[in-house]
A and B are shown apart, each in its own frame.
Chain A
Amino acid sequence: MWKFIHKFASPKYFYNISGKILPPLGWITVALFAVGLVGALFLSPPDYQQGESVRIIYIHVPAAMLSMSCYVAMAVSAAIGLIWRIKLADIVAWAIAPIGMTMTIIALITGSLWGKPMWGTYWVWDARLTSELILLFLYLGFIALQTAIEDTRTAARASAILALVGLVNIPIIKYSVNWWNTLHQPATISKMGKPSIDASMLWPLLVMIAAYMCYFAWLTLKRARCEVIYRERNSSWVKKMVGEAS
């Protein structure tokens, strides 16, 4: 078990294996987006109350879910880098940050566009919206800290602590709609008991969530792969590989 982890954590092994995973993962992502978008924009019915505006949820819900799970993945990865001093874990945390930030921005913007016709306002300072905005600032802080410190190992250590401190915000976002009266509606899919979304709308949403997840995995691997080779530019295996190519 430990042997396997150490093998996977070696930059060279990661570079090789990610090169094999990336192409099929990319095609799976494209296929899922194609099916999901056709289902979301054409096949699924309009909502009984919201009409065609309901289609925003197929973009909004997966982005909002990913904005939170990206953060958890980033913080866990940063913690592994902090405790076990695994360079690859630092790189993965670095790779996830801008992706999670983009997901947060997508969730905030699409939510706001949905809010205007449905609620009657673009923005309210309720617990859900405010905590999601704080998440955006946490991502920004993480990225800013990484950029501000020249030495990559110091940067990784400092930003890992910030990521761990910010982790407390994740359950607050998730349960804000249950703990307080908010304008934002409670969760639909993860609700216990009878699902409160019609099957004709549920399947495109689930496909879109899967598509977002694959896209996230693909982007993370791609970014981490590029960064690995950059940070290892002075090591013998990279020099050898570049030498063979040129």
Chain B
Amino acid sequence: MTPRRKRMIAVGVLLTGMAITAVLLISAFRQNLLYFYTPTQIANGEAAIDKGIRIGGLVKDGSLQRTEGTLDISFLVTDRVNEIPVKYSGILPDLFREGQGIVARGKMDENGVFVAEEVLAKHDENYMPPEAQDALDAAKTME
């Protein structure tokens, strides 16, 4: 076996070893690498309810309620299968609106309401000019 061949095999073994290690590590830490839980995962009891967690989903259309004169709001977070009521008091990001994807950090209280300490907007992968959105909205009202 030539030295070059030996080095080639050594590099191959190194890469395979690293790949296997990575796969094992990733599958071991699968849960910890989740940035947030979906309402369905919470309904299935996958999240530790007593600890601080993050939940993510869409703000359900028509569920947003503001209390006049305060920063308090409440809304439902849905993944179109299950939904969770959320309470929050504070400043919201620009993208926050009904139908928008959000990630909230906080705790479940005893009534099954998620009390959020922080609400972040999650942007989707769609990019279009405002006119295109207007056309989509118009098409929706036509139906």
Contact = CB atoms under 8 A, between A and B. Distances in A.
Nearest to A127: B33
A164 B11 contact: yes
Contact of A117 (B19, B93, B129): B93
Interface residues of A, number: 43
Given A117-B93, A124-B120, A196-B125, A45 B11 contact: no
Contacts of B15: 164, 167
Interface stretch (A11-19, A65-73, A138-146, A185-193): A185-193
Interface residues of B, number: 41
A188 B93 contact: no
A84 interface: yes
Contacts of A213: none
A82 B56 contact: no
Dominant SS among interface residues on chain B: mixed
Contacts of A168: 18-19, 21-22
B36 A119 contact: no
Nearest to B35: A126
Contact of A181 (B22, B38, B127): B38
Given A118-B93, A120-B93, A180-B33, A45 B121 contact: no
B14 A161 contact: yes
Given A117-B93, A161-B14, A181-B37, A48 B120 contact: no
Interface of B: 4, 7-8, 11, 14-15, 18-19, 21-22, 26, 33-38, 56, 91-96, 103, 118-133
26 contacts: A45-B129, A48-B130, A50-B123, A50-B127, A79-B11, A83-B7, A83-B11, A118-B93, A119-B93, A119-B120, A120-B94, A120-B120, A126-B35, A127-B35, A164-B11, A167-B18, A168-B19, A172-B22, A179-B26, A180-B35, A181-B35, A185-B123, A196-B127, A198-B128, A198-B129, A201-B129
